[in-house]
Structure 1
Amino acid sequence: MFNLKTLQRNKTVKYGVPMLLLVVGGSFGLREFAQIRYDAQKIRKRLDPSLAAKVNEQKQSVILEEEYEKLKEINLDEWKNIRGPRPWENSKEYQEQQHRNLSKTD
């Protein structure tokens, strides 16, 4: 029925099938390359056991009560909210103006 010459002249076979193979094959190839990327990230995230032990020690050494004591030492009653410069303002001039205002009140 069909011979090779008829299939070569058919536009669907000539252009459509290679395009379909490229799209489907590309998606499978892209999946494989992406999997390699994610596997490499997992390997990089693993820490050396001795380094991991040091990191865990540092995390456990911070105690909530110690942090609370540090905050109690800070005098928050004399705290003053100072606005930062706007993007259209010159930051040097604004800092000098704030410094002058602070020196007047002190």
Structure 2
Amino acid sequence: MGPLSRSKTLKYGVPMLLLIVGGSFGLREFTQVRYDVQKVKRKIDPGLEAQLSKNKDKITVESEYQKLQERNFDDWVNIRGPRPWEDSKTYQEQLRKT
């Protein structure tokens, strides 16, 4: 048993330092896997992507606004959902009749 084996720095400090540095590299690898998986999930089939982009051009804010202007909201009634203790079917039917 030499003086190096009795040193607290070698006994506790070096393993702690290795744990911190090794943990840092380990966390980097795990987070990189996470981002790689997200990148793979975002990829879409090129045919489907082309079809989606083609349909996206047809819908505009102006066309949706025109649809809303054509609707008649004067006779619209707000019907709330039932409470947990109320029967949903009978309550909604009762509100629709009034």
Q: TM-score by structure 2 length?
A: 0.75
For residues 82 and 91 of structure 2, what CA distance do their matches in structure 1 show? 11
Question: Relative contact order: is structure 1 or structure 2 higher (C-alpha 8 Å, sep ≥ 6)?
Answer: 2
Q: Alpha carbon RMSD of aligned pairs, Å?
A: 2.4
Count matched residues: 98
**What does 1:44-59 align with in structure 2 at a 5 Å threshold?**
44-59=41-56
For residues 48 and 90 of structure 2, what CA distance do their matches in structure 1 show? 47
Cα pair distance change 1:35/1:98, threshold 3 Å: closer
1:81 is paired with a residue whose SS is coil
Choose from 76, 81, 88 the match for 1:79. 76
**What does 1:90-101 align with in structure 2 at a 5 Å threshold?**
90-92=85-87, 95-101=89-95
The unaligned stretches of length 5 or more in structure 2 are none
For residues 19 and 62 of structure 1, what CA distance do their matches in structure 2 show? 60
Q: TM-score by structure 1 length?
A: 0.70
What percentage of residue pairs aligned between the two structures are identical? 52
Task: Say yes or no: does 1:36 pair with 2:30.
Answer: no
